């Protein structure tokens, strides 16, 4: 794998970007936070936040992980003042990670205009401070790469997804941590994954988390199979599952993560995104960006997004690299796509060749080259309510060793 560089953090990790995150802690503070971000067009100032007011352990964990992500160099917290979200706890978590952090409470700061002005002043200071930082060598074992698919069609499972699987195998072999997810789109593949698990206990846990996803679908009466998938030529959930599974490659599975869990070491990890407890309406929400955010909360420096129908979304904090499965879609949406895996379908490239191209692009983006979605200014972000129980010890066999 090509040599990497990154920004060193006080907590020992390295980031591939040096972003100032502006984080609102309730929807009532969203507008003020957005006005602060809008004052820095084209600069590395990204908007994140939680819209709810009711306290929620999942959202609290997610915001702490995101505001202290390796790609974040400093964080401004924007609070209304009367919400239930623990803004003090968020500030303490960011400060403990060694990053500059500041909180503006609108109700105590004379309202919108004053809060925006103070926020702009602090972000300007933070950008100047971060500009003095230099990149340093970064080992492949310090890199975390995620993958997700969206807008899948009949080409996804035979071009882009297996090409990402090839890239994942190369990245894992180099020492990186790689995360795949969408347990709801892996129904029927659980026993394939069980055979690849690092331990029997992990294999059983993989089967259980896919069973949980299948139960959700059964109770709610719908699953992760959108009309656009059918229009694109996919015929069954099983067909979609096999395509989604191809993104994981062939490496042994090292553990299961839940949103906000950090990989214990290099290797391949499955992210369980289905809530625990009784089935509640709201999942599956079929929101690619919500799951990208969960991957980022697990430490992903960047995300490989495979698509057949085409998707233009990016993300705040971590770059998104688009791997297009369909050559017709690539031609139509070339400005939004980074890799044309449809060349495999046309006989112009092999899976191994495209997989190698993906690894090379991962290195270039990690070293500062912008992905297409970054260059176009995409910084989508969404955070919802969910509920998770702590993972059992069988999900982290590497951590126990």
3 found inside a domain: no
In this prediction, residue 245 carries a pLDDT of: 87
Exposed, middle or buried, 113 (CB in 10 Å: 0-12/13-18/19+)?
exposed
In this prediction, residue 287 carries a pLDDT of: 81
If asked whether residues 158 and 279 sit together in one domain, one would say yes
If asked whether residues 115 and 145 sit together in one domain, one would say no
Q: What is the pLDDT of residues 36-95, one digit of tens each?
A: 999 999 999 999 999 998 878 999 999 999 999 999 999 999 999 999 999 999 999 999
In this prediction, residue 400 carries a pLDDT of: 47
Domain count of the chain?
A: 2
If asked whether residues 124 and 174 sit together in one domain, one would say no
If asked whether residues 200 and 339 sit together in one domain, one would say yes
Q: Which residue has the tokens 């400005």?
A: 335
50 found inside a domain: yes
8 found inside a domain: no
Element (H, E) at 125: helix 112-130
Q: Which of 89, 107, 132 is the last residue of a domain?
A: 132
Find out whether 270 and 209 touch, Cβ atoms under 8 Å: yes
If asked whether residues 209 and 172 sit together in one domain, one would say yes
If asked whether residues 285 and 387 sit together in one domain, one would say yes
DSSP state letter for 259: T
If asked whether residues 148 and 108 sit together in one domain, one would say no
352 found inside a domain: yes
In this prediction, residue 225 carries a pLDDT of: 53
Cα(205)–Cα(188) distance, integer angstroms: 15
If asked whether residues 37 and 125 sit together in one domain, one would say yes
Cβ partners under 8 Å of residue 255, min gap 6 = 198, 202, 263, 264, 267, 269, 270, 395, 396, 397, 398, 399
Low-confidence ranges of the chain (pLDDT < 70): 222-243, 281-286, 398-401
If asked whether residues 225 and 346 sit together in one domain, one would say yes
Q: Considering the entire predicted model, what is its pTM? A: 0.94
144 found inside a domain: yes
In this prediction, residue 232 carries a pLDDT of: 57
If asked whether residues 177 and 125 sit together in one domain, one would say no
97 found inside a domain: yes
9 found inside a domain: no
Q: Which of 107, 132, 157 is the last residue of a domain?
A: 132
Q: Which of 112, 132, 152 is the last residue of a domain?
A: 132
CATH number at residue 84: 3.40.1400.10
10 found inside a domain: no
Structure tokens at 295: 């991957």
In this prediction, residue 244 carries a pLDDT of: 80
If asked whether residues 87 and 179 sit together in one domain, one would say no
If asked whether residues 115 and 177 sit together in one domain, one would say no
DSSP state letter for 168: H
In this prediction, residue 69 carries a pLDDT of: 98
Range of the domain at 385: 140-400
């Amino acid at each position: 794998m090509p040599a990497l560089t990154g920004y060193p953090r006080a907590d020992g990790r390295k980031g591939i970007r040096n972003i100032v995150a502006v984080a609102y802690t309730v929807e009532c503070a969203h507008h003020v936070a957005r006005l602060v971000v809008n004052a820095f067009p084209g600069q590395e100032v990204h908007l994140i936040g939680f819209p709810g007011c009711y306290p929620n352990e999942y959202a609290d964990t997610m915001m702490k992980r995101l505001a202290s992500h390796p790609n974040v160099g400093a964080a401004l917290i924007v609070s209304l003042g009367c919400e239930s979200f623990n803004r003090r706890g968020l500030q303490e978590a960011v400060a403990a990670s060694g990053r500059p952090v500041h909180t503006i409470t609108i109700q105590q700061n004379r309202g919108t205009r004053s809060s925006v002005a103070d926020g702009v002043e602090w972000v300007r200071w933070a950008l100047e401070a971060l500009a003095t930082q230099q990149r340093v060598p970064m080992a492949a074992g310090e890199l975390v790469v995620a993958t997700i698919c969206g807008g899948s069609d009949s080409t996804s499972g035979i071009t882009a997804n297996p090409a990402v699987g090839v890239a994942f195998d190369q990245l894992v072999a180099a020492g990186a941590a790689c995360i795949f997810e969408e347990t709801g789109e892996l129904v029927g593949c659980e026993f394939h994954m069980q055979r690849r698990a690092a331990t029997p206990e992990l294999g059983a846990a993989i089967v259980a988390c896919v069973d949980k996803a299948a139960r959700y679908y059964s109770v709610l009466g719908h699953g992760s199979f959108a009309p656009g998938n059918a229009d694109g030529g996919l015929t069954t959930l099983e067909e979609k599952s096999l395509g989604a599974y191809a993104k994981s490659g062939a490496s042994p599975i090292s553990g299961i993560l839940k949103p906000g869990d950090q990989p214990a070491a290099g290797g391949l990890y499955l992210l369980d995104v289905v809530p625990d407890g009784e089935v509640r309406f709201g999942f599956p929400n079929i929101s690619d960006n919500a799951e990208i955010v969960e991957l980022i909360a697990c430490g992903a420096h960047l995300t490989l997004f495979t698509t057949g129908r085409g998707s233009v979304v990016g993300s705040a904090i971590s770059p998104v690299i688009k791997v297009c499965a369909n050559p017709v879609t690539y031609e139509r949406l070339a400005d939004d796509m980074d890799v044309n895996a449809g060349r495999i379908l046309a006989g112009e490239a092999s899976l191994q060749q495209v997989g190698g191209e993906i690894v090379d692009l991962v290195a270039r983006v990690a070293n500062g080259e912008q992905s297409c979605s970054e260059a176009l200014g995409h910084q989508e972000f969404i955070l919802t309510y969910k509920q998770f129980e702590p993972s059992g010890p069988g999900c982290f066999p590497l951590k126990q060793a």
